[in-house]
Structures are given as C-alpha cells and as structure tokens.
Structure 1
Amino acid sequence: MSVFFIGDVAVDEYYTADRWPGIADKDFIRELPTECGGSIANAAVVHAGLGGVTEFISLLNESPLSERLIADLAENGVSTRHMLRQPGIPESRNLIFLVEGEHVVLTVEMGRQPMVLPPETMAALRQPGLLYTTLYRARRLHAADSVLRQAALLADLRQHGRRAVFDLDVGGAAEADLPYLQGAEVVIFNQVGFRATFGHDDLEAAADWQLANGIARLVRTAAADGAAALDGDRILRAPGHKVDVVDVTGAGDTFGAALVWGLGRGRDFGSALTFATAAASRAVTRHGPRGGRASAEEVDAWRQAMSQAGAG
C-alpha cells in the first residue's frame, strides 16, 4: 500500500552561528554543506528508507535546481511520477541557521498557486492508503477534471479510503482550518503548534476538540520528552531518549514518517508511536535534514541499544 506525501521539497542552505542576532544587529555565520531537504520531502525519504512505498507530490518550476531535487528523491527511493511543474515560480530554498542546539528556518516564499491534480493523480489518490500533508498544501489542492478543491477534495479522498495525516508543526490550526482536519486519521502538533492552537499544554483538555472534528488520533511531540497521543478515549505516552544532539532539523519529519510507516504496516498505534519517537531521537544524533533515514531494523537495533545502555 502506497503512502502519498504532498508538500515541500527544497534545497536547504545550512549555516551555524554562536547566537541569533536581534534587529539592526550584526554577527558572523559559518557556512555548512548544502543539502536537499524540505519538511515533507524529508519525511518521504525517511518513509522510503524504512521500506515504505512512497509517492511524493509538490509544485516546482522548470529549473536545473528542480531537476536536482527530483533526481535526489528518486535516488532515495521516492516516486515522483505525479510531480507538478509550473514555469516561472521561485526556486525552492530554505535558509537554516543552527544556533545553541536549536534551528531557525527561513523559507523563500513561493506563492500560493493552486496545485492542480490531473485525472491520473486523482485516480491514484482515490485508492485506500495514507496521505501525509500540511494545511498550507491542502489549501492549494484542486482536481483538474472536476470542481473538487481544498477541503472538499480531501473529503472525497477520505470517502475512497485515503486517510489523512496532518503535520501542523509550529503553525497549529485556527477555526478556518477545521474543514480540512475533520475526519483526519492523525493530526500531529509539536509543543509550539499545540499551544498556538489551544492556548495551553494539556493534551487531555483537547479531547472535546478532537471528538467534535472526528479526528481519530491527536499527537503532541515534545522534543527530548518524547510524544503523547489521544487515541480515542485513552492517552498514550512514548518517552524520549537521552542523546547528544547534533542537529534537530528533520526530527519532526522523521517522527511523522516513522509513525505513518508503522500505521501502514498494520502496527497498533501505541507501537507505532514508540517506534516513531525512537526514530526521531536517533535522527537528532546525525547532521542533516534527512539524518533520520534508516531501515526499520536499524531503528529497532538503536532503540534496543539505548534501552540496554539505560538499564546498565
């Protein structure tokens, strides 16, 4: 069963700094090697590395940089046969600054052009499976052969058995976003996005919101503290792992990809949550937006080694 990832792919330009300067300030930065990245593309690469059947859709221009991004995805086992192209839109780039164990990401604005899905892509999406995406992309989806668009398009896919997983990251969700989230299989927040949405940090207090919108599972990640989830009427917790952090870029993408991979393989939600937390913890011990790329066996071996080290 294939999983579709609809979202961003970009060249990530990395820099480090001793501090983050303020307005009207100056400082030096150090350049690091450029990587192919983009949040949802990172997740797709991790999913393929785990052994998943992975389809990726984004909207790119016709430049050599776009060809490089597409070739890189293919080299990582990600299918790009449904990629959308539009001449004249900006290059897809992120500027990433690593400062004091955290990262600041600045993304070049590419516009909000509709992502028009041709009939063959709609036919592929109208098959049972999972869809991993963001609100930013979901708002731009249109079907070329019908009036379906945005939330109505997602509802159509859901009726055909395509279950949506939303990565809301730091942005969270507002009232206007609810039509997109309704009926989702999983909605993932990090701590910042959860607080932006609910104004508090109490996962259990979000249960009414989850129920009212028909969301099967609500997940809040908490960096080194792992993750917690509302799964129906129960709360599940997956503790984090104490590691030496090298680069947190892509940790959330690794978590989402590993969670989707586990669900796609028929794992129960608690097992998938624990596996995803381990995969994300492992990812931050490596440099680069795709440091989480590994086989399922490598993640399980790492988790076992960490457990043994903790017991010792």
Structure 2
Amino acid sequence: RVGFVGTAGNDLVAELKLRSLQQYGVDLSRLVVRQQPETQLIMVYVHQETGERAFGTVKRDLPPAPLQVEELDRDYITSAKYLHLDGTHAEAALQAARWMHEAGKQVCLDGSRTDGRPISPQMAALVAETDILICGSGFGRSVTGESDLWAAGEAMLALGPRLVVQTEGADGSYTVTATERFHVPAFDVPVLDTTGAGDVFHGAFLVGLLRGWSLRSVVLFATAVSALKCCKLGGRSGIPTFDEVLEFLRQRGIDNL
C-alpha cells in the first residue's frame, strides 16, 4: 500500500494527475488541495535515437504555498514502514523524517541529479535525516566534493545515511554501505525514452526492501524495472508490472531474487 502526502492544484491538470495515481491504488486521503491551478506544465522532448530527454517548463501562476508542518498527519506518516522524500516541501519533509525516526521507521531520499551543482541547505539537512539515499549523477560530488563515485559514496555515509546508491544511467549504479560496496551494470536494452527511469528505480527499490530481499537483489530488481521503463515512451505509461520484471530477469538467467 502506498500513500501520497503533498499538494495539488484545483484545475483539470491536477485532476488528470490525481486520477492517474488513484487508478493505481495510491491513497490520496492526506493530499492538500490548493485553491489555484497547477503552477507549471513540463513538456518532455525525447531524442529519437538515444532516448535522452530535455525539459521545457511553462509556468502558469505563482507557486503554491509548500505543505506546512501543521498540515501533516503524524500518525498517518509513521504508520508507513518507509517514508520516501524528494526534497520538496523541505520544512514539512524534515519534520516527517524526524517523526519516522522517533517511531523507529526508515526514511528514503531521492537525491536527484545535480551534475555537480551545489545543493540547498534544506537538502543537506534532509540527507542528515536519511537512512537510504538514492541519488543521481553528480549529487555525491555536490555533497562531498569527491569526484570518485566510491569515495563520494563512503563520504555520504558519514553524513547520516546507512545506505547510499548512486545511479549513473547507462553505467548502472554504485551501492555503498558500512560493510560492502558493489556495482550493478545497467541492462542492455533498446532505449526509447529515459523519462522516469530514476523515479521507477526508487519505487522498485522500496518494493524489494519491503519483500525482504538481499540488498544486491533489491538493486538488481530496481535496475531491471528502470531498464524496462526505458523501452517504452512515456513516464508512467512505461512502468512494467511485477510479473513483467520477473520474466525479464528469467530471460537473462536470473530466477531467484
């Protein structure tokens, strides 16, 4: 079971977005609707040969007020086994992370891709309250100053996370804990659209953890989900089913996770 805590607008764009989440069983009971339109539309331009993408943003209104701490339902949040954050609603996210730790639960953070650009103080504070940090290209360098992926991963462990996964697109991912480190290469697939590849990796990673798999199996499963997503056009429309992922792995000689 998955729940979404955040904000949305009150226009057709918001309705379409939320309807899509509800279609897949996401609980929206703690969603806060702002009485204004969604503030921006993002157009994704996909390169026909490589599947890489560029983004165009159309801003339509002033940004809505971020989710406030007083709008959070502590009991609802701490009823989850994992809280997954992406850096938005920074103050509320930080409080929610602290509540999770007080309840003995775990926090996962999408560190996104920075290409080496500095991160905000708010994101740095979230890193310190994170158990599982999954970050994109350049994030480790932004946080630690280390350009070597292994060194950056180990340096990020010292900041709070117990587990760091750095995703590097076609180069796969680099996982570091206090006791092990390993690289999982990306699967060789015909890439059509990379939109959402990192997002589905995060979701699949949490699925693996909830199923109690070994860390290597969790990363392998998430890598397969990301690869299959890249084979189809569209962000959510390209997300594979659980059985499709298992079949993809079986075809490559991987039967047990």
Report TM bin, short chain: 0.7 to 0.9
Contact 2:192–2:232 at 8 Å: present in 1 too?
Answer: yes
What secondary structure, in the 3-state scheme, does the structure 2 residue paired with 1:56 have?
coil
Q: Which residue of 1 aligns with 2:152?
A: 206
Q: Which residue of 2 aligns with 1:115?
A: 67
CA–CA distance in 2 between the matches of 1:274 and 1:181?
24
What secondary structure, in the 3-state scheme, does the structure 2 residue paired with 1:54 have?
coil
Contact 2:39–2:63 at 8 Å: present in 1 too?
Answer: no
List alignment gaps of at least 5 residues for structure 2. none
2:3 paired with 1:72:
no
Contact 2:228–2:240 at 8 Å: present in 1 too?
Answer: no
Aligned pair in 2 of structure 1 residues 156, 184: CA closer, same or farther (>3 Å)?
same
Equivalence map 1:247-286=2 (5 Å) = 247-286=193-232
Q: Which residue of 2 aligns with 1:161?
A: 104
Residue 83 of structure 1: CA displacement? 1.0
| Residue among 134, 141, 144 paired with 2:86 | 134
Equivalence map 1:171-182=2 (5 Å) = 171=114, 174=119, 176=121, 177-182=123-128
Aligned pair in 2 of structure 1 residues 292, 90: CA closer, same or farther (>3 Å)?
closer
Residue 119 of structure 1: CA displacement? 6.7
CA–CA distance in 1 between the matches of 2:54 and 2:158?
34
Between the two proteins, what is the percent identity of the paired residues?
21
Contact 2:3–2:28 at 8 Å: present in 1 too?
Answer: yes
Counting matched residue pairs gives 247
Contact 2:11–2:38 at 8 Å: present in 1 too?
Answer: no
2:191 paired with 1:245:
yes
Q: Which residue of 2 aligns with 1:58?
A: 6
Q: Please list the CA deviations of residues 230-255 of structure 1 after superposition, one character each: whole Å capped at 9, or x if unmatched.
A: 02231022121111111110111111
| Residue among 187, 191, 194 paired with 2:140 | 194
Contact 2:154–2:177 at 8 Å: present in 1 too?
Answer: no
Q: Please list the CA deviations of residues 279-312 of structure 1 after superposition, one character each: whole Å capped at 9, or x if unmatched.
A: 111111111102452332210111221348xxxx
What secondary structure, in the 3-state scheme, does the structure 1 residue paired with 2:14 have?
helix
Q: Please list the CA deviations of residues 147-201 of structure 1 after superposition, one character each: whole Å capped at 9, or x if unmatched.
A: xxx5344212221133211111113763723321114121112223334434444
Q: Please list the CA deviations of residues 203-241 of structure 1 after superposition, one character each: whole Å capped at 9, or x if unmatched.
A: 221255333322111111121222111022310221211
| TM-score computed with the length of structure 1 as normaliser | 0.71
Residue 126 of structure 1: CA displacement? 2.0
CA–CA distance in 2 between the matches of 1:120 and 1:180?
17
List alignment gaps of at least 5 residues for structure 1. 1-52, 142-149
Residue 117 of structure 1: CA displacement? 5.3
| TM-score computed with the length of structure 2 as normaliser | 0.85
What residue identity is the alignment partner of 2:9? N
What secondary structure, in the 3-state scheme, does the structure 1 residue paired with 2:74 have?
helix
CA–CA distance in 2 between the matches of 1:196 and 1:120?
30
Q: Name whichever structure is richer in strand by fraction.
A: 1
Residue 202 of structure 1: CA displacement? 1.7
Contact 1:125–1:162 at 8 Å: present in 2 too?
Answer: no
Higher relative contact order by CA 8 Å / sep ≥ 6: 1 or 2? 1
Q: Which residue of 2 aligns with 1:84?
A: 32
Q: Which residue of 2 aligns with 1:105?
A: 55
CA–CA distance in 2 between the matches of 1:244 and 1:250?
16
Q: Which residue of 2 aligns with 1:298?
A: 244
2:187 paired with 1:232:
no
Contact 1:178–1:213 at 8 Å: present in 2 too?
Answer: no
Contact 1:127–1:161 at 8 Å: present in 2 too?
Answer: no
Aligned pair in 2 of structure 1 residues 307, 191: CA closer, same or farther (>3 Å)?
farther
